Amino acid sequence: MEITSLTNAKVKQWSKYKEKKHRDKDHKFLIEGEHLIEEAHKANLIECILIEQGKENMFPIYETYEVTRDILKKLSDSVSGTYIMAVCHMPNISSIDFGNKVIVLDDVQDPGNVGTIIRTAFSFGYTSIVLSSHSVDVYNEKVIRSTQGALFHMPIIRGDIMELLQELKQQGITLYATSLHEATPLQQTPKKTPCALIFGNEGNGVSKDVIDYSDHKVFIEMKTFDSLNVAVAAGICMYEFR
Amino acid sequence: MEITSLTNAKVKQWSKYKEKKHRDKDHKFLIEGEHLIEEAHKANLIECILIEQGKENMFPIYETYEVTRDILKKLSDSVSGTYIMAVCHMPNISSIDFGNKVIVLDDVQDPGNVGTIIRTAFSFGYTSIVLSSHSVDVYNEKVIRSTQGALFHMPIIRGDIMELLQELKQQGITLYATSLHEATPLQQTPKKTPCALIFGNEGNGVSKDVIDYSDHKVFIEMKTFDSLNVAVAAGICMYEFR
């Protein structure tokens, strides 16, 4: 099917998915570029494909709309533009299964950091991502891009962080919070499985309540500057606990 | 001194420093925000301060221009805006002293990645950053912001990468290149000092010539996805070699 009008009802509907509230309401989100579409295809999340008129469609098994470059520009968030996008549905999480290696993000705000952490977690075989209510939305286009598609393969559980930590503890999962105070150096920390590694907000770190509730406090020893990006700190901890 | 006109000669001159060629020509660059100015002050790089009219100047020891919000908006790269900026001069590197723990970036392109790597390097006590000619310019505003000021304290050496690697080898520094092929797992790699750790372009990794010239090839073992952001990979290697 071909769509050329920017005011077409479908285009209007899709463009709503640039906002979190509409994504949440319909459980749908947009992605762009071949690589992400390939990963979403593997995870069975694609609903339909939007492709620029005249371009070859590598995913003909899905319902496809041929659209103008202007329509893609309206729907896309990237500066450089794209010739292919997809509308996806969010994966169903019927029951909470954390698995035995959990990453917990306590109000991490930067989309690039959250996406990079999800990508690292999937690469090292972590089993789920838990997000506090005030963390950035993972279906934000920049988060998706930074995950390189890892997002589609990882269970994401979002909610009240204290309730979720309680649930983790009840399931016998040891909680490790990163903290700069009264903490054990990462290398000397005994690494148990199942475990949950907790990382905090870019400015404030892990919140006090969460640190107090955790079983262990961990820090990464530094020399001169004592300042690591949260995605780098998370990468180092995930590597050590892998 | 007060400046209110966007077409003032000084404003025109400063705004040129948003482009690499003018930064390189005059050896000057712009920074914004208190935290970076504090770090540039410690490193003795500040030439003058630009502050919004009516705001308190925490750095009165420097020549100061009171400017309008519009002038700051013109000079700044940040979306949220700033009330204080500084014009800085680049540090003088009279002789090449790599130190004993070197980071080499082979055409790393993303400003956020390069900035984050410099921040991590300084935090773990690395002694210099070597950049290939086609790496992103480190005086790019986004790089500076991502370094959190670490840039001002690290010697940065930029040039032909093969010549610089030759120089490193001649000084007895062992070269470790990250590579996905025929490489030793990071954990099993014997870690010598002095060393140089080499990281590559986001899409293509370290170039073949550089890998062939290196003493060791190293890779980070992953499980499911085999994909790490270069700043995360660099963080993990720097931690292991710290």
Q: Is A123 on the interface with B (CB under 8 A)?
A: yes
Select from A89, A124, A149 the last residue of a domain: A89
How far is A17 from chain B, CA to nearest CA, in Å?
A: 23
Distance CA B103, CA B120 (A): 10
Statement to judge: residues B33 and B69 lie in one domain: yes
- The pLDDT assigned to A180 comes to 85
Statement to judge: residues B54 and B151 lie in one domain: no
pLDDT higher than 70, residue A236:
yes
Q: Is B113 on the interface with A (CB under 8 A)?
A: no
The interface predicted TM-score (ipTM) is 0.91
In degrees and rounded to multiples of 5, residue A236 shows phi and psi of: -65, -45
Q: Closest partner residue to A236 among B116, B226, B235, by Cβ?
A: B235
Statement to judge: residues A75 and A162 lie in one domain: no
Q: Is A153 on the interface with B (CB under 8 A)?
A: yes
Q: Do the Cβ atoms of B122 and A225 come within 8 Å?
A: yes
Share of chain B above pLDDT 90, in %: 89
Quick one: average pLDDT of A186-212?
Answer: 96
What count of CB pairs under 8 Å joins A to B? 91
Statement to judge: residues B58 and B106 lie in one domain: no
pLDDT higher than 90, residue A182:
no
Q: Closest partner residue to B225 among A123, A228, A242, by Cβ?
A: A123
- The pLDDT assigned to B135 comes to 94
Q: Do the Cβ atoms of A232 and B146 come within 8 Å?
A: no
Q: Is A34 on the interface with B (CB under 8 A)?
A: no
- Dig out the tokens for A109 from the structure: 């705000």
Suggest the residue from A123, A154, A222 to mutate for an interface test with chain B (most B CBs closer than 10 A).
A123
Q: Is residue A105 part of a domain?
A: yes
- The pLDDT assigned to B182 comes to 87
Statement to judge: residues A25 and A125 lie in one domain: no
Distance CA A141, CA A20 (A): 10
Select from B59, B89, B119 the last residue of a domain: B89
Q: At B88, is the secondary structure helix, strand, or coil?
A: strand
Q: Is A223 on the interface with B (CB under 8 A)?
A: yes
Q: Is residue B95 part of a domain?
A: no
Q: Is residue A94 part of a domain?
A: no
Calculated CA dihedral for residues A132, A136, A139, A140, nearest 10 degrees:
180
- How far, CA to CA in Å, does A79 sit from each of A38, A73, A74, A151, B115? 21, 9, 11, 22, 21
The residue of chain B with its CA nearest to that of A232 is: B232
Q: Is residue B94 part of a domain?
A: no
pLDDT higher than 80, residue B218:
yes
Select from B35, B69, B89 the last residue of a domain: B89
Q: Is residue A138 part of a domain?
A: yes
Statement to judge: residues A132 and A229 lie in one domain: yes
How far is B1 from chain A, CA to nearest CA, in Å?
A: 35
Per-residue pLDDT tens for A121-180?
999 999 999 999 999 999 999 999 999 999 999 999 999 999 999 999 999 999 999 998
Q: Is A222 on the interface with B (CB under 8 A)?
A: yes
Burial B221-233 (b: 16+ CB within 10 A, else e): ebeebeebbbbbb
Per-residue pLDDT tens for A39-54?
999 999 999 999 999 9
Distance CA A37, CA A27 (A): 17
Residue A194 CB partners (closer than 8 Å, separation 6+):
A98, A99, A100, A101, A102, A171, A172, A173, A174
Beta strand spans in B71-172 (E)? 84-89, 101-106, 128-132, 156-159
Residues of B in contact with A34 (CB under 8 A): none
Average the pLDDT over each of A78-82, A236-240, B218-222 and give the range with the smallest value.
A78-82
CATH of the domain at A209: 3.40.1280.10
pLDDT higher than 80, residue A93:
no
CATH of the domain at A56: 3.30.1330.30
Quick one: average pLDDT of B28-44?
Answer: 95
Statement to judge: residues B122 and B231 lie in one domain: yes
- The pLDDT assigned to B198 comes to 98
Q: Do the Cβ atoms of B116 and A229 come within 8 Å?
A: yes
Q: Do the Cβ atoms of A124 and B222 come within 8 Å?
A: yes
Domain count, chain B: 2
Q: Closest partner residue to A116 among B146, B225, B229, by Cβ?
A: B229
Q: At B82, is the secondary structure helix, strand, or coil?
A: coil
Q: Closest partner residue to A235 among B221, B227, B235, by Cβ?
A: B235
- The pLDDT assigned to B94 comes to 67
Check: CB of residue B218 under 8 Å from CB of residue B177: yes
Quick one: average pLDDT of B203-230?
Answer: 93
Q: Is residue A96 part of a domain?
A: no
Quick one: average pLDDT of A179-203?
Answer: 94
Distance CA A23, CA A141 (A): 11
Q: Do the Cβ atoms of B120 and A228 come within 8 Å?
A: yes
Q: Do the Cβ atoms of A232 and B235 come within 8 Å?
A: yes
- The pLDDT assigned to A79 comes to 72
Statement to judge: residues B83 and B107 lie in one domain: no
pLDDT higher than 90, residue B96:
no
Q: Do the Cβ atoms of B224 and A123 come within 8 Å?
A: yes
Per-residue pLDDT tens for B136-185?
999 999 999 999 999 999 999 999 999 999 999 999 999 999 998 889 99
Domain carrying residue A174: 101-241
Statement to judge: residues A85 and A106 lie in one domain: no
- The pLDDT assigned to A194 comes to 98
Statement to judge: residues A76 and A159 lie in one domain: no
Statement to judge: residues B161 and B236 lie in one domain: yes
How far is B106 from chain A, CA to nearest CA, in Å?
A: 19
How far is A222 from chain B, CA to nearest CA, in Å?
A: 5
Q: Is residue A223 part of a domain?
A: yes
Statement to judge: residues B144 and B187 lie in one domain: yes
**Helix B111-123 vs helix B230-240: angle between axes, to the nearest 10 degrees?**
10
pLDDT higher than 70, residue B107:
yes
The residue of chain A with its CA nearest to that of B221 is: A124
How far is A54 from chain B, CA to nearest CA, in Å?
A: 27
Q: Is residue A95 part of a domain?
A: no
Per-residue pLDDT tens for B58-90?
999 999 999 999 999 999 987 778 899 999 999
Q: Closest partner residue to A148 among B125, B153, B227, by Cβ?
A: B227
Share of chain B above pLDDT 70, in %: 99
